[in-house]
Amino acid sequence: GNSVTQMEGPVTLSEEAFLTINCTYTATGYPSLFWYVQYPGEGLQLLLKATKADDKGSNKGFEATYRKETTSFHLEKGSVQVSDSAVYFCALSGTGGYNKLIFGAGTRLAVHP
């Protein structure tokens, strides 16, 4: 079945460091891919998405490229801020007629001044 694998956290960085959070997926067909962010005590918010191969999603300085050849959707940011501290979830949509979102385990990011 479909699945998502994320790098384990926590990831601890200093402010202005470069961020990469790895995400790989297993799916039949051509899923859409998402990154969601969860701030402490809150629900999830969509950070960015890509709906087909080679698409690049971007938002708030974060980027991720849909790589079908490596089944990956790694999240990157060139210069992190303390306010980026949160848990990041990679997700894919179910292919076919049902809109099921499948999530990775989440990666906690802590950014220190």
Partner 1 sequence: DGGITQSPKYLFRKEGQNVTLSCEQNLNHDAMYWYRQDPGQGLRLIYYSQIVNDFQKGDIAEGYSVSREKKESFPLTVTSAQKNPTAFYLCASTPNPGQGKFSTEAFFGQGTRLTVV
What is the binding site for partner 1 (CB under 8 A)?
29-32, 34, 36, 41-46, 49, 51, 89, 93-101, 103-106
Q: Alpha-carbon distance 88 to 98, whole Å?
A: 24
The CB-of-13 to partner 1 minimum distance in angstroms stands at 20
- Rounded to a whole number of angstroms, the minimum distance from the CB of residue 29 to partner 1 is 8
Spatial separation of the C-alpha atoms in residues 31 and 29, rounded to whole Å:
6
CA dist., res. 36 & res. 19, Å (int): 16
Nearest to 12 by CA among 107, 90, 77: 107
CB of 108 to partner 1, least distance (A): 9
Q: Of 16 and 60, which has the nearer Cβ to partner 1?
A: 60
